[in-house]
Amino acid sequence: MTSSPRDIVAACLPDPAAPRDRMRGKTCARTWVKGVKDGRPREVHPYHVVDNEWSMKEYGSQAVVWQTAFNPVVALEPLAGGAWSGTGVLGPEAFEARPFLDLLTDHGTPWGMREQ
């Protein structure tokens, strides 16, 4: 039997659920967006912080796991409600961000943005 490199790495990693009671602190998912708006250069750093103890208590998941699952679920709301619509295969960047970001805040996990 042959194993892929991914299988070997996965076998060596700890179970992500194992350290639940020892996880402390927050995780910050963020990105760096650089471009031109209204003819002027612009750089922004939108971010979303989740407290690990909170996500473990409320959902039984680490903050990173929670963000990975929660954000796509929240994105279904503007799709189902009609705030986001379109034809064809569209990525998240094709839609207005505000409905999604407002929903994050409505669900108790506010976001922020730092402008350069």
Identify the three-state secondary structure at position 16. Answer: coil
- 63-81 and 52-59 helices, crossing angle to 10°: 70
| 114 closest CA partner among 48, 51, 35, 45 | 45
Q: How far apart (Å, rounded) are the C-alpha atoms in residues 59 and 23?
A: 14
Please give the structure tokens belonging to residue 88: 């064809």
pLDDT tens digits, one per residue of 57-108: 888 888 888 888 888 899 999 999 999 999 999 988 899 989 999 998 998 8
Q: How far apart (Å, rounded) are the C-alpha atoms in residues 77 and 9?
A: 36
- What number of other Cβ atoms are within 10 A of residue 79's Cβ? 15
Q: How far apart (Å, rounded) are the C-alpha atoms in residues 8 and 87?
A: 41
User: pTM value?
Assistant: 0.69
